[in-house]
A and B are shown apart, each in its own frame.
Chain A
C-alpha cells in the first residue's frame, strides 16, 4: 500500500530519555552471540579505557526505530510486509552504560520501487547533555503484494 507522502521530511519530536544499562547491553551481546568482555564486564571495559561497559556497534538499532514515528496509522506502514533494506551507523563514540540518550527521527525519503515502498529514516542519538553519539540511517522496504 502506498505510504502517505505527507510524512516526507517530517521530523518527529524527541524521544523520552532512554538510559543505556549494563543489563540491556549484556542481553544484546548475548543475543548476537558475542562474548567480548567489554560488553559485560565493567572492569574489563574500564581497563580498556571506557567509563563503563560499551554497547556493540549495532546496539543503537534498539533505540533507532522506537520513535512513535513509524507506528502512526496515518503513515500507512504495514509492518507484516516490512523488511530492512539498508542500515548505516556513524559513530562519534560507542554508547556505554550510564548514557541517557534522546533520539530524534526524520523521514528523509518515501518512494516507490516497483511494487515496493521505500522509506528512509535518519535518527540522531544524543545524550541528554547534548553530546552527539551516533546517527543511524535506516531504509525500510514495505513489500508490495
Chain B
C-alpha cells in the first residue's frame, strides 16, 4: 500500500491538524493485557503512590501508540512508517474518574530522498510535554 498524502504536496514547516486522545483507566488495563506490561504503576493507585508517583500513570508506550496513530491516520498507510522514536519526558497521570487527555500536534520537519518526510510530534497532557524528540519518518506517495 502507499500513503494517501503526496510527497510533492507537503512542505517543510507545514503543520498537521492537532488531535486529542482521551485516556481512561480501562484503556490502561486493556493496554496492559495487550502489551504484556502489567507493571502495577499503570493500574493500581495504592501501588503507584507508594512508589512516589502522583497517581496511576499511562504506559509510555500507550502515549507513543497514540502518536503513531496520529501519524498513520494522517499519512493514510500504517505500513509507510520507516522509523519512529520518542523520548518520554513526563508522565501522563490518569486519575480514576476523569482520566486524562493526550493532545498531539505535528509538523513536517524535513523532506528526505525517496519520498520520505520527517514529522516532528509534540504530545502534551495536563499542560506538560509528555513526549520530546518525537519523530516519525514516513514514506509518502
Contacts A31-B27, A58-B68, A87-B61: A94 and B21 contacting too (C-beta < 8 A)? no
Q: Closest residue of chain A to B48, judged by CB?
A: A80
For A65, list chain B residues within 8 Å (CB).
Answer: 37
Asked if A80 and B88 make an inter-chain contact with CB atoms under 8 angstroms apart, the answer reads no
**Interface size grouping (class) on chain B:** 35 or more
Asked if B33 and A38 make an inter-chain contact with CB atoms under 8 angstroms apart, the answer reads no
Q: Is the interface of A mostly helix, strand, loop or mixed?
A: mixed
Binds B, one of A49-57, A99-107, A122-130: A49-57
Give the distance in Å from the alpha carbon of A24 to the alpha carbon of B36 in the complex: 11
Chain A residues numbered 57-84 whose CB sits less than 8 Å from any CB in chain B? 57-58, 61-62, 65-66, 79-84
Q: Closest residue of chain B to A86, judged by CB?
A: B87
Q: Closest residue of chain A to B23, judged by CB?
A: A33
**Chain B: residues with CB nearer than 8 A to chain A?**
1, 21, 27, 30-31, 33-37, 39-41, 47, 51-52, 59-62, 64-66, 68-69, 71-73, 77-79, 81-88, 91, 133, 136
Pull 7 A–B residue pairs with CB atoms less than 8 Å apart, ordered by A.
Answer: A27-B34, A58-B64, A62-B36, A80-B51, A87-B61, A87-B86, A89-B83
